[in-house]
Amino acid sequence: MDCPRCTVPLKVEGHKGLSIDRCPKCQGLWLDYSELDELEDRVMDEDSAKGAMMFRSHGGELSCPKCSETMEWFRYRHYDMEIDFCPKEHGFWLDKGEEKRVVEIMEQRAKDLKRSASAEAQWESFLAGMKSKGFMTKVKDLFKRR
């Protein structure tokens, strides 16, 4: 396979436990269709918690290295990062450094979900405490005129 940007042959290498195809010139990489999900799974493997990867796609300029069809692009998980993909589901093209950004985004998503779950638990605890007579008495006392 050749790089869709540089047209030089891609080199197979290991990356985070995956066998990926990297361009020796521009350092972009080709991920087969399932490998982007596998890259994300290194950080977060609960697919339902990840949210939608692609909201809308746009016409692209690069050719798929597998089928030569024109690829499209999308904003990855609605972030300001454009990823090219083959509409025939052959894979994704990530420009230099975008694989690191994918991992960073998933790490942040995992932190945000953990923080959200903690906040929900604290809120539920707070609401349960409001039902106690002691708490409501204290609130009423705050508004009593003396």
**Each residue of 19-64: pLDDT tens digit?**
899 999 999 999 999 999 888 888 776 766 666 688 889 999 999 9
The reported pLDDT for the residue numbered 40 is 86
- Specify the pLDDT at position 79: 85
Contact indicator for 58, 74 with CB cutoff of 8 Å: yes
Q: pLDDT value at position 126?
A: 64
Looking at residue 47, its pLDDT comes to 64
* Residue carrying the six token digits 């692009």: 73
DSSP-derived 3-state class of residue 11: strand
pLDDT-derived band at 127 (thresholds 50, 70, 90) equals: low
Structure tokens at 38: 């596998």
- Cβ-based neighbours of 78, under 8 Å, separated by 6 or more: 52, 55
Confidence grade of residue 146 (pLDDT, cut at 50, 70, 90): low
Residue where the block lists tokens 């707070």:
126
Lowest mean pLDDT among 9-13, 37-41, 115-119: 115-119
Res 18 pLDDT > 90 = no
Residue 110 has pLDDT above 90, yes or no: no
Torsion angles phi and psi, residue 95, rounded to 5: -70, 165
